[in-house]
Amino acid sequence: MDVLAPLVVIALLGLVVLLVSAPLRGGRAEAEAQRQDARLADLQAAKDAKYREIREAELDYRTGHLSEADWRLIDRQLRAEAVTILRRIDELAEPDPRPAERGPQAASGRRGG
C-alpha cells in the first residue's frame, strides 16, 4: 500500500498537467498554421509582383525601350524567378501525404482487390 499511494498521486498529477497544458499545446499548432498562412500570402504577393515585372519588361520591349536581346535576357531571368516562387508556393500548399495513405483507397489498394 505504501508504494501504491505515491504512484496514484504521480498519475493524477500527470493527468492534471496534461489537462492544464492542452490549450497551450494546441496554440502552438495554431501559431504554426498562422505562420504558414503568412508565408503563403507573402509568396502570393511576390508572385503577383514578379508577373507585373514580366508584363512591364514586355511592354518596355514592345514600346522600344528594350532591345530584343535585352528583353529576352530579362524575361528569361524573371520567368526563372517566377518558377522558383511557384515551386515554393506548391511546397507550402501541398497537403501532408501521410493521412491520405491511411484512407480507404490506400487500404483497398493494399488488399489487391
Query: Which is higher by pLDDT, 26 or 82?
Result: 82
DSSP letters of 49-64?
A: HHHHHHHHHHHHHHTT
pLDDT at 26 over 70: no
**Residue from 81, 79, 13 nearest 43 by CA:** 81
pTM of structure? 0.59
Task: Tell me which amino acid residue 109 is.
Answer: G
Residue 88 pLDDT grade (very low, low, confident, very high; cuts 50, 70, 90): very high
> Is the four-CA dihedral 31, 33, 37, 43 of positive or negative sign?
positive
